[in-house]
Amino acid sequence: MSRLLPSLLLVAVLLVGWEIACRALNVPVYLLPPPSAVGLALVQRAPLLLSSALATFWMAFQALFAAFVLGGGLALAVSLDQTTERAVRPLAVALQVTPVVAIAPLVLIWAGLDHADRAVVALAAAVAFFPLFSGVLTGLKSADPDLERLFDLYGASPIQRLIRLRLPTALPFILEGLRVAAGLSIIGAVVAEFVSGSGATQGLAWRLLEAGNRLRTADMLAALACLMFMGLGLHAAVGALEGAVRRRLA
Amino acid sequence: MARLRGADDSGPEYAAYLSGVVIAFPGRRPLGPLDLIVHPGEILALVGASGAGKSTMLRLLAGLEQTPASGAVARTPGATTSFVFQAPTLMSWASVLANVALPLELAGIPRAEARTRAAAALDAVGLGDRLSARPRQLSGGMAMRVSLARALVTEPDLLLLDEPFAALDSVTRRRLIEDLHRLWAQRSPRPAIVFVTHDVEEAVYLAHRAVVLDAATGDVVEELASPGALPRPEGWRADPGYRTAVEKLAAALARSMALLPAESGSSA
């Protein structure tokens, strides 16, 4: 807790400064509501925000899971054969550099306008795919070359090599990829929901759009705060998992 | 000497050999032709300048190098080979015991038996009380002992060591050399040991004979037999015969490097 104290103090100072500035300068509430108004909105709209946050979280989680299975699985397959890697890697990079906003309308058409949530999951998964694919592949290929030689010398089978050498070596890389991908999956879900622009998804991005259209700035900031807390929570959870695994392995 | 080389035993007259091996490196002068014979039960030192191909020769003997452009590499049929690298090269995520049991488990020996034999091998290098330790909890010397135990657990007929003691302090190094002699003498028939070093004192003390590799071609240019029997008696480093042999080997090493242009030979 004492590690967090300086940053908590800074946040408190910024919030107090914001509150005082809003009151002293008479800033219109639709332009910048004071933190007290945002806090009130958070409390008043708590049930709605919570269900929206759950919707966004669930979509991001499904996307993360799909990206992990597909990215990790593909990396595993590719790591066994150099030619496959040369074939697949440019496509993975192409997927990574294509802006998700740009392909969103296409995916929305494919998913069907009645299933905007599926499109959101698919798009968020596309964003989260690359760090997982890249992390797993890098990890699988980063075993100590002398240990690889030792496995050669003792006639290890490909499965033995994978389970006893490459996967344990890759684990920290996989967790690092997972941490990056977790944050990206939320970003991807929010962006995709923005683009879908329909209330069908009922996530936090929809709360943002809705409040923005009505110029209810405090509600927007409340939804934004929810997104931030969700991101921080996810980051901390994966970080804790990473730490636990590192302690176990080191 | 004949006894020490194991030539009295019935069986093949080599543990391993290289014959006319040429290795092509992209963008570099090829290495070779290389000829080397390792007799059963002998301890052989490979000495030479950096870049003379000592490690390459060792990996060739182990069968870890890509197939050479020409020439033949052979080991006694059915012989088991072990390798010790310059770094301990342990699996950081596994216990000391699991690290040493690895070669046996990869060979399909049941886990319980593999672990029992690994524990015995660790006991033999004085680490019987550190079975569950992780590699990072060990000192450099202890980690190298684990690496040695892992190499010996398969009871190899051919043990190859690539500058195994280079990173250790002199006290630890001497202790490990004595350990290696003791472990070699305990086995029957004795394994052949080939090790790479650029320390001429280590070469004379540890080995029956030392071969000096040409700095340019990597082939054997000189060969010197060490005096005396293995393991060495207490205080043998003060023996005049040992001192003379060290000086002769140092001179031979200097000759092997004399043809090199200055400032070259930086790659290992």
Cα dist from A218 to A30, A43, A48, A199, B189, whole Å: 8, 11, 15, 20, 85
B11 pLDDT band, cuts 50/70/90, is low
- Which domains can be identified in chain A, with CATH numbers? 1-27+34-43 (no CATH), 45-249 (1.10.3720.10)
pTM for this predicted structure? 0.80
* 3-class secondary-structure state, position B19: strand
Q: Count interface pairs A-B at CB distance under 8 A.
A: 47
Per residue in B109-131, pLDDT (tens digit) is 999 999 999 999 999 888 999 99
Distance CA A177, CA A128 (A): 9
Contact A164 B102 (CB under 8 A): yes
Contact B89 A144 (CB under 8 A): yes
Give the nearest chain A residue to B133 (CA atoms): A250
Residues 6+ apart with CB under 8 A from A132: A67, A68, A71, A72, A75, A174, A177, A178, A181
Buried b / exposed e along B120-131 (16+ C-beta atoms within 10 A)? ebbebbebeebb
* A149 in contact with chain B, both atoms CB, cutoff 8 A: yes
Contact B106 A164 (CB under 8 A): yes
Q: Give which of A170, A163, A140 is closest to B106, Cα–Cα.
A: A163
Per-residue pLDDT, A93: 86
Per residue in B133-186, pLDDT (tens digit) is 999 999 999 999 999 999 999 999 999 999 988 888 888 889 889 989 999 999
What stretches of chain B show up as alpha helix (H) in DSSP?
54-62, 96-106, 111-124, 140-152, 170-186, 200-206, 240-258
* A163 in contact with chain B, both atoms CB, cutoff 8 A: no
Residues forming a β-bridge with B161? B84, B195
Looking up tokens 């290929």, which residue turns up? Answer: A141
Distance CA B152, CA B144 (A): 12
Contact B81 A168 (CB under 8 A): no
Per-residue pLDDT, B229: 87
Task: With beta carbons under 8 A apart, name residues in chain B contacting A149.
Answer: 59, 64, 83, 85
CB count in 10 Å sphere of residue B91: 21
Per residue in B211-267, pLDDT (tens digit) is 999 888 888 888 999 998 888 988 899 999 999 999 999 999 988 887 655 544 444
Q: Give the mean pLDDT per block of 10 residues along chain A (250 residues).
A: 86 94 90 92 92 92 95 91 86 84 86 84 92 93 93 91 93 90 90 80 87 91 92 86 78
* 3-class secondary-structure state, position A72: helix
Q: Give which of A211, A204, A219, A209 is closest to A33, Cα–Cα.
A: A219
Per-residue pLDDT, B260: 59
Give the nearest chain A residue to B95 (CA atoms): A249
First to last CA, chain A: 25
Per residue in B55-96, pLDDT (tens digit) is 888 988 998 887 777 888 888 888 899 999 999 999 999 999
Contact B63 A149 (CB under 8 A): no
Per-residue pLDDT, B268: 40
Q: Give which of A180, A201, A179, A198 is closest to A121, Cα–Cα.
A: A201
φ, ψ for residue A219, nearest 5 deg: -65, -40
ipTM given for this complex? 0.83
Per-residue pLDDT, B266: 45
* A144 in contact with chain B, both atoms CB, cutoff 8 A: yes
Contact A149 B82 (CB under 8 A): no
* 3-class secondary-structure state, position B138: coil
Per-residue pLDDT, B138: 93
**Residue B67 DSSP symbol:** P
Task: With beta carbons under 8 A apart, name residues in chain A contacting B64.
Answer: 149, 152-153
CB count in 10 Å sphere of residue B229: 12
CA distance A194 to chain B (A): 44
